[in-house]
Amino acid sequence: MPYEEQLRQKQRAAASTLSQWSVDWLPAQASEEAYFRNKAKMVVGGRQGRVTLGILDRQQHGVDLTGCELHERPLLDALPALSRWINDSGLTPYSVPGRQGELKHVLLTVSPDAEIALRFVMRSEAQLGRIRRGLDALRAAVPGIRAVSANLQPEHKAVLEGDVEIELSDEHRLPMRLGPVTLQLGNRSFFQTNTPVTRALYARASEWVLDGEPGSVWDLFCGVGGFALHAAERARAREVNVSLDIVGVEVSEDAIEGAQLAAAAAGVDARFVAGDATQMAARGEAIPDVVIVNPPRRGITSLAAWLNDSGAERIIYSSCNPKTLQLDIEAMPRYRPARAQLFDMFPHTAHSEVLVELVRR
């Protein structure tokens, strides 16, 4: 399907989901058609000395996708070299039919500066020594590698990663430079898959946040602080309401630490709190003028009722699932969606990111 038609269909689908409200839709933010994906989540198949990195077919045989042109070019350069290094190191691919072997997945994320964070998902610690001994050769084979870790996923089930993460390099974070803000990604930090479109998303959201010159902003589900830091930077650049109080809230302490490091490096005034969003008022924090939410696919669920009663003037909602977005808006009848924009994070799929501004009635 021609890309222009893909984008039109996504726009129609998103608008249909919110059709019960009168929404001002901005033009959709398009993506590049290839070389846009900053993450590679590759299943390791094949056998020792002849691995494949990609997916498994219906017979559970490895299908190599190291040349997949969805990935950014630094990943396309890195994956074949990584495959050769795995073969040389003697790591044993995990066999799904045989339920044996060690290496299950390799997960790579690339920054705008072509630096790479690499994670090996292993069944156990049995072959970690091979990885440690081969780190110098790995860095020589893939010069852009910055951070390396191993994740242990011992169970035989369709789960990408486990609970235990073992650092294998001195560097533990991947800097993601996005203009004046550089985010600091930990091993498990969430970041959108399409860096240029993510830049556009943060720019639009920070623009909407500052409309009306709010005095305070909360960024809930803030992760490593992308929305909060960009709003703080835009406020500083525009000298809008210099007393603006921006707070990011996230349950992951590692993500909060990354956000704090990024705020300090950027010299922007934003606070980050590890905890549950609904407990913010109990901590003595005053309800803000604007709330940003960027939840997982399941949406904000029970938080909708709390937000509906919060009294915040506006909510900026970034959603990767229009259906749960619709349900969440319906659960907040005191707010109406005023304007929206689609961001095509995922070309060649039916998925998209939608940014909506909700205004208190």
Q: Could you give the 3-state DSSP secondary structure of residue 325?
A: helix
Return d(Cα 225, Cα 249) in angstroms, integer.
Answer: 9
Residue 356 and residue 361: Cα distance in Å, rounded? Answer: 15
Among 86, 181, 320, 325, the active-site one is: 320
Alpha helices in 53-160 (DSSP H): 73-89, 128-133, 135-141
Q: Report the alpha-carbon distance of residue 209 to residue 270 in Å, rounded.
A: 14
User: In sequence order, what are the beta bridge partners of 29?
Assistant: 343
**Dihedral angle of Cα 8, 11, 13, 19, to the nearest 10 degrees:** -130
| Rounded Cα–Cα distance for residues 161 and 203 (Å) | 32
Evaluate whether 93 touches 103 at the Cβ level (below 8 Å): yes
Respond yes or no: is residue 320 known to be catalytic.
Answer: yes
The residue type of 281 is: A
Please tell me whether residue 273 adopts helix, strand or coil conformation: strand
From residue 154, alpha-carbon distances to 71, 126, 132, 172 in Å are 28, 11, 20, 23
Phi and psi at residue 59, to the nearest 5°: -95, 10
Using an 8 Å Cβ cutoff, are 61 and 125 in contact? no
Catalytic positions: 320
